[in-house]
Chains A and B, each alone.
Chain A
Amino acid sequence: MKGVVFTEFLELVEEKFGYATVDHIIERSELSNDGAYTSVGTYDYHDLIRMVVELSQITGSRVPDLVKFFGHHMFHVFTKAYPELLRTTHCTFEFLPHVEKAIHVEMRKLYSDAELPSFRFEYPADNEIVMYYQSTRPFADLAEGLIEACAEHFGEPVRIQREDLAPHDGTQARFAITKL
């Protein structure tokens, strides 16, 4: 997993819980590189999971909620990094397909070895879009947080119905997003 995810996660923890908490979860997680992450590096995603689990124990929040929250954060990271995305898209239904078309394309330019999740879309009705998430890593919660943050950004009330798909380990999910 790209280092930018790790550095953004630790920045988020520091911002919300202070650098003592960051130091604590790094110490407790027995990380492969002792928490010295750089955004341009590539690291084992299990390190991230271990840190989230430790954070969960400290804060008492559920792991899925923490990951979803991190998804909200990543949405804002993306929109800062790729501001043209917000200029060319005007709603959730436009923005989400552009993640695959724009952000992933840019990521591959910077990190040719990046293993990115893939998104596939269906359009069953004018007010409904279905997004299929597929990844080698179990971060469907992160994708859900991203969708929620996107809808919030555009001020669109939506209903998100998530269905975890086989093998039901968070690597594959179906999100039916309906505008309310």
Chain B
Amino acid sequence: MSNLDLLLRRLEREKRARKEAETLLELKSRDLYEVNEQQHLLTACLADQAHRIQSILDTAPEAILTLELDGQIGSVNPATERIFGYPAEELTGKSIAYLIPSFRANALTEILPTLIAANSSQCHEEIGRRSDGQELPIELTVSALPDDGGYIWLVRDIARRRQMEAQLAHASKMESVGALAAGIAHEINTPIQYVGDNTRFLDDAFQDLDDVFGKIELLLNAYQDGTLRPELVAEVREAAEKADLEYLREEVPKAIAQSLEGAERVVKIVRAMKEFSHPGSEEKTAVDLNRAIESTITVSRNEWKYVSEIELDLDPDLPLVRCLPGDLNQAVLNLVINAAHAIEKRRDDEGKLDQLGTIRVSTRRVGESVELRIADSGTGIPEELLSRIFDPFFTTKPVGKGTGQGLAITYSVIVEKHGGSLDIETKVGEGTTFVIRIPL
């Protein structure tokens, strides 16, 4: 084969290779175009998503912050500015302790694992600080960003919720007072009844005695005038016999004593009611817990007296307890009424309607706490319900008898407001003891 033929064959190969290369180039160009188009669509999609996410962040009522690993604030949404009163640019780069003073840098590293672990199940409550220095209650949810990218903090302003909870607790207390009113009226009515009867008896007795006194006055006048006659003496004697002086000498002191005792009972009930329903103080004050318990037992007497007896074993040496008296009274009342209901249910279940149960209330000092035990001989609480009994609105009572607020409020009062503990010892068919401990 000549060189020319060889070169022509090579030229032919080169031409075909060039065409193939051009075809490949076109295919690559098309691929590139399509990739570019997809890139545009993806970019538009991402921009749309970013816009949506930004809208969510901008309109969310909760403060949403991103934090660096060292606790410095990276970014905040408008709600953060609104809730804390700082402009975003002032917050960026600041420590989270700027908004939540309790989270100093060292404390933050300690508490973060707890906050993140609690994320799915519960929120963490803290006190935040606004730019004007005002404190505000907040609820936190913290999530870790992937690849050590820092944290997302979701902060809710719960001031209004706290206010609503306070209103609900107050409404619940008023509801208790209202529910107790009928029983208290009955409690007052009984002594008032016999005070009235005795007073009427004294009134009748006085009418009789007034006749005797009238005759005696005539007798005395006649004696002074020197006109005393035997008939006049006989009239005095007749009037005295008619009035039955011997009977009156015996019964009038009794009637007076009973009336005084009735009046004292009314005074005691009114004083207990006054102490029980005294407007709750915002500040804790030193309270005689035994006296508070006695007042609560008194005002609730009509709730338990038909189903139970009360045994009090109150430590006379119990020190004064710093507490919120109104809230504590409410908590004790809830437990006493629950105890009465549990006894009533057991009595109904067992058909022993004439048998009274027992509610035993005792106090004592245990170390640096006071312990209050309220034990009943009621139905007891099944184990499967124990984890739910402090949940708001959970009740096993029939409609109209319980709202499910009692134990939730009691728990809140003892544990959250007083830093105490509330434990239960219970056995189905034997009874329940609530054990309250409040630090001194």
For B12, give the chain A residue with the smallest CB separation. Answer: A36
Most chain A beta-carbon neighbours within 10 Å: one of B7, B9, B15, B25: B9
Stretch at the interface among B16-24, B170-178, B255-263, B289-297: B16-24
Scoring A residues 41 to 58 as 1 if CB is less than 8 Å from chain B, else 0, what string do you get?
A: 100000000000000000
Given contacts A34-B13, A34-B16, A35-B13, contact A40 B24 (CB under 8 A): yes
Which residues of the partner chain A approach B274 to less than 8 Å between Cβ atoms?
A: none
Asked if A154 is at the interface of the complex by the 8 Å CB criterion, the answer is: no
CA–CA, A19 and B10, complex, Å: 8
CA distance A33 to B23 in the complex (A): 15
**Shortest distance between the CB of B90 and any CB in chain A (Å):** 45
B12 cross-chain contacts in A, Cβ below 8 A: 36
Tell whether, in the assembled complex, residue A38 and residue B10 are in contact, meaning their CB atoms are under 8 Å apart. no
Contact A41-B7, Cβ < 8 Å, known A34-B16, A35-B13, A36-B13: no
Q: Which residues of A contact B21 (CB under 8 A)?
A: 38-41
User: Given the complex, which residues of B lie within 8 Å of A22, measured CB to CB?
Assistant: 10
Contacts of B15 in A (CB 8 A): 36
B6 in the interface, Cβ–Cβ < 8 Å? yes
- B7 in contact with A38 (CB, 8 Å): no
A38 touches B9 (CB 8 A): no
Q: By the criterion CB–CB under 8 Å, are A38 and B13 in contact?
A: no
CB-based contact B6/A41 at 8 Å? no
Given the known inter-chain contacts A41-B21, A41-B24, please indicate yes or no for A36 contacting B6, CB distance below 8 A. Answer: no
The verdict on A37 contacting chain B, using a C-beta distance below 8 Å, is yes
Q: Is the CB of B13 within 8 A of A20?
A: no
Counting chain A CB atoms within 10 Å of each CB, which of B15, B16, B17, B21 scores highest? B17
Q: Which residues from chain A contact B18 at a C-beta distance below 8 Å?
A: 38
A20 to chain B: closest residue by CB: B6
Q: Max chain A CB contacts within 10 Å: which of B12, B13, B16, B25?
A: B13
Tell me whether B20 and A41 are in contact (CB under 8 A). yes
Q: How many residues of B contact A (CB 8 A)?
A: 18
Chain A residue contacts of B16, Cβ below 8 A: 33-34, 36
Q: Do A23 and B10 touch across chains, with their CB atoms under 8 A apart?
A: yes
Binary contact track B299-331/A, C-beta < 8 Å → 1, others 0: 000000000000000000000000000000000
- For B20, list chain A residues within 8 Å (CB): 33, 36, 38, 41
Q: Closest Cβ of chain A: how far from B8's Cβ, in Å?
A: 10
Query: How far does the Cβ of B337 sit from chain A's closest Cβ, in whole Å?
Result: 77
With A36-B13, A36-B17 as contacts: A23 and B6 at CB distance below 8 Å: yes
Measured CB to CB, the closest approach of chain B to A1, in angstroms, equals 15
What's the least CB distance linking A41 to chain B, in Å? Answer: 6
Please name all residues of chain B whose beta carbon is closer than 8 Å to the beta carbon of A20 when the two chains form the complex. 1, 3, 6
Chain B residue at minimum C-beta to C-beta distance from A18:
B6
Among A19, A36, A37, A39, the residue within 8 A (CB) of B7 is A19
> Which A residues are CB-close (under 8 A) to B14?
36
Complex alpha-carbon distance, A26 and B10, angstroms = 10
Q: CA A10 – CA B128 in complex, angstroms?
A: 77
What residues of B have a CB within 8 angstroms of the CB of A19 in the complex? 6-7, 10
A residues in contact with B28, CB < 8 Å: 40
Q: Which of B1, B6, B9, B25 contacts A40 (CB 8 A)?
A: B25
Considering only CB atoms, which chain A residue lies closest to B24 in the complex? A40
Chain B residue numbers with a CB within 8 Å of A26 are 13
Provide the residues of chain A in CB contact with B17, threshold 8 Å.
36-38
Interface centre among B1, B10, B14 (most CB of A within 10 A): B10
A33 to B1 CA separation, bound complex (whole angstroms)? 21
Known: A34-B16, A36-B17, A38-B17. A23 touches B9 (CB 8 A): yes
Nearest-Cβ distance from residue B38 to partner chain A, whole angstroms: 15
What 0/1 pattern do residues 201 to 231 of B give for CB contact below 8 A with A? 0000000000000000000000000000000
**Residues 65 to 109 of chain A near chain B (Cβ within 8 Å):** none
User: In the complex, which residue of chain A has the Cβ closest to the Cβ of B14?
Assistant: A36
Q: 8 Å CB contacts to A: which residues of B239-283?
A: none
Closest to A36 in B: B16
CA of A38 to CA of B24 in the docked complex: distance in angstroms?
A: 10
Could you jot down 28 A-B contacts, CB within 8 Å? A19-B6, A19-B10, A20-B1, A20-B3, A22-B10, A23-B1, A23-B9, A23-B10, A26-B13, A33-B16, A33-B20, A34-B13, A36-B12, A36-B13, A36-B14, A36-B15, A36-B16, A36-B17, A37-B17, A38-B18, A38-B20, A38-B24, A39-B21, A40-B21, A40-B24, A40-B25, A40-B28, A41-B21
Residue positions of A touching B, CB distance < 8 A: 19-20, 22-23, 26, 33-41
Q: Knowing that A41-B20, A41-B21 are A-B contacts, what are 11 other residue pairs whose CB atoms are under 8 Å apart, sorted by A's residue number?
A: A19-B6, A19-B10, A20-B6, A23-B6, A26-B13, A34-B13, A36-B16, A38-B20, A39-B21, A40-B21, A40-B24
> Which 8 pairs between the two chains have the least Cβ-Cβ distance?
A36-B16, A38-B21, A36-B17, A38-B17, A36-B13, A38-B20, A40-B24, A23-B6
